[in-house]
Structure formats: C-alpha cells, structure tokens
Amino acid sequence: MNRDQLAHVLRAASNIVTEDPVLVVIGSQRVLAVHDEADLPPLATASMEVDVAYFNDPDDAKADRADAAIGELSQFHITFGIYAQGVSITTAVLPVGWQGRLVAWSNASTGSSRALFLEPHDCVVSKLVAHRGKDLAFAGALIDEGLVDVEVLRARAELLPGAVHPAIPTAVQRWLDAWTDRAP
C-alpha cells in the first residue's frame, strides 16, 4: 500500500460514516502517516488492508458499516485491490496513554476525513502483544530499519494495561531481547 491508496481508503471510510469523520488507524499501515512508502521496508507496506476504528462506536456499528461497504471482498476491494477493515478501538492491546500520542495525517486526497494514527512505538508494541507471525515480521522490519527504538518499545511494554495477562510485558521484553541479540 502507498500513501495515495491509504488516502483513498480514508476518504471512502469518512464518506460512509459521515457523522464521525475522525478515524483511528490502528494497524500496520499506520506507518504511512509518518513515512513515505519509499522510505519503508517492503514488509511495512505489504498489507492491502487499513484497520479503521472510530472513537465513539460503542456497538461497533460504524466499524461494521465501513467493513460492509469497503471491506474485504467488497466491490471497493475488488476494484482497487485495497480495503478497510472496520474494527473496534479495543481490538489492539495498547500501552497506557496511547491516545495522547496519536499522530494526525492527511493530504489533499483524504477529503473530509480526519485520520489519527497510532504512534509507531505504540503500534509495534500492540503487534508484539498480538504475536502473530506477520506482526513479528513487521515489528522486526521496523526495528532493523531504525524506524522504532528498542528502548522506547521496552518502556511502552511496561505501560501495557493491568488487564493484560501479567506475562505479556515480559514476553514482549523477551522477544525484543531475542531480536536484538540475534546474529547478523
């Protein structure tokens, strides 16, 4: 995915949920808010989906509308090869204080959408918590390219909410240790 495609998804999502133009991008494509695709490793832009959430969506109705209209296998997806996945703001396990670190991004192509993106370290920590193969590869690629700082990731892991299993921050720390200690 590139920034133009991201802008297209954001514009479409804001046209579907017109009463709430503030979108929160919580998935891996959030890196495009901070970096041009040319400056990113291929793993960082490999996804064709944008995880879109809304702050005021207690029953996920807005996310469901976006998902139905421009989600996977929709006509939008078939036509453009990209899609939005409407998700709950609680989908990702995030460090305490993440809301205060959101990054705003827009361009001439985003239309009326007001998109907020997870700060890179918050995003990577949430990916490490999810611990899926693709998430670990994404995190490793950003670390290797110097796009996130391992010490900041360690600090953010300590800010994971108390409701998370107590072993999760330690598991994140161990993965970071293993990644940074691996042979070149």
Domain end among 120, 144, 166: 120
Domain end: 105, 120, 135, which one?
A: 120
Residue 30 belongs to domain spanning: 3-120
Domains contained in the chain, number: 2
Residue 10: partners with Cβ closer than 8 Å, 6 or more residues away:
23, 25, 50, 52, 106, 110, 111, 113, 115
Are residues 111 and 24 both part of a single domain? yes
Query: Does 99 share its domain with 47?
Result: yes
Whether residues 88 and 27 share a domain: the answer is yes
pTM: 0.90
28 and 85, same domain (yes or no): yes
Tens of each residue's pLDDT in the chain, 184 residues: 998 999 899 989 988 888 887 889 998 998 888 888 888 998 888 899 999 999 889 999 999 999 999 999 999 999 999 999 999 988 889 999 999 999 998 776 766 678 899 999 999 999 999 999 999 999 999 999 999 999 999 999 999 987 677 788 888 889 999 998 885 6
Distance CA 126, CA 122 (A): 6
Best CA proximity match to 25, nearest among 106, 142, 144: 106
DSSP per-residue letters across 25-59: E-SGGGGGGTS-GGGS-GGGG---EEEEE-SS-TT
Whether the CB-CB separation of 31 and 120 falls below 8 Å is answered with yes
Distance CA 40, CA 29 (A): 11
Same domain membership, residue 154 and residue 134? yes
Residue 35 exposed, middle or buried by CB count within 10 Å (0-12, 13-18, 19+): middle
Q: Do 158 and 86 share a structural domain?
A: no
Say yes or no: 130 and 107 in one domain: no
Please tell me whether residues 101 and 19 are part of one structural domain.
yes
Q: Tell me: do 170 and 98 sit in the same domain.
A: no
Residues 113 and 140 in one domain: no
Q: CA dist 132 to 92, 111, 127, 137, 138, Å?
A: 13, 33, 8, 9, 10
**Domain shared by 141 and 109, yes or no:** no
Which helix (DSSP H) or strand (DSSP E) does residue 182 occupy? none
Rg (CA), the chain: 16
End position of a domain, from candidates 71, 96, 120: 120
